[in-house]
Amino acid sequence: MRILIDADGCPVVDIAVRLSREYKVQCVIFCDTSHVFEKEGAKTVTVSKGADSVDFALVNALCCGDIVITQDYGLAAMCLARNAFPVNQDGLIYNKDNIDALLLSRHTARKIRNSGGRLRGNAKRNPAQDTVFEEKLRELIKRGL
């Protein structure tokens, strides 16, 4: 088991790296050349910029049982297909029971935006979200040990 992080736009990288050190689990951060991540205790894989280049690099490196931190529903679906455990930055653990609805909501939002509509952005992140994420990540790590 490893922790793989889709780091582009991920607000919980530091929490994930800290927990990986605490539980002695390898941590790999995936980012593109527009971001720089160098965290003690984690390996960084930097790929070329491009649509979904980070996602495909992460999926290609994925092993059964890995934990993947991502807010990308499409990447989460690919991880589930490879028997990994995707979780988002708010502690939502993606699974076969919720991924289809999440993918549908992404598709619907894209249709609204493509037709000129606007959607409300996410609220500002708060400390309670970090707490929930940390609890869920600990749960996944302990389950995999």
Q: Which domains does the chain have, with CATH numbers?
A: 2-144 (3.40.50)
**Could you give phi then psi for residue 140, rounded to 5 degrees?**
-65, -40
User: What pLDDT does residue 44 have?
Assistant: 95
Closest to 43 (Cα-Cα) out of 34, 31, 54:
31
Residue ranges for the chain with pLDDT beneath 70: 106-109, 112
Task: Estimate to the nearest angstrom the gap between the alpha carbon of 106 and the chain centroid.
Answer: 16
Q: In the prediction, which pLDDT does 109 show?
A: 67
In which order are the strands placed within the sheet that holds 2-6? Answer: 43-47, 26-32, 2-6, 67-69, 85-87
In angstroms, what CA-CA distances link 62 with 3, 26, 129? Answer: 10, 13, 26
Q: What pLDDT is attached to residue 118? A: 78
pTM over 0.75: yes
Residue found by looking up tokens 């989460």 in the block: 76
For 38-69, write each residue's pLDDT tens digit. 899 999 999 998 778 999 999 999 999 999 99
Q: Residue 106 has what pLDDT? A: 61
- Quote the pLDDT of residue 98: 87
- Cα–Cα distance between 14 and 88 in angstroms, integer? 14
Dihedral angle computed from the Cα positions of residues 72, 17, 12 and 81, in that order, rounded to the nearest 10 degrees: 20
Phi first, then psi, for residue 28 (nearest 5°) are -125, 125
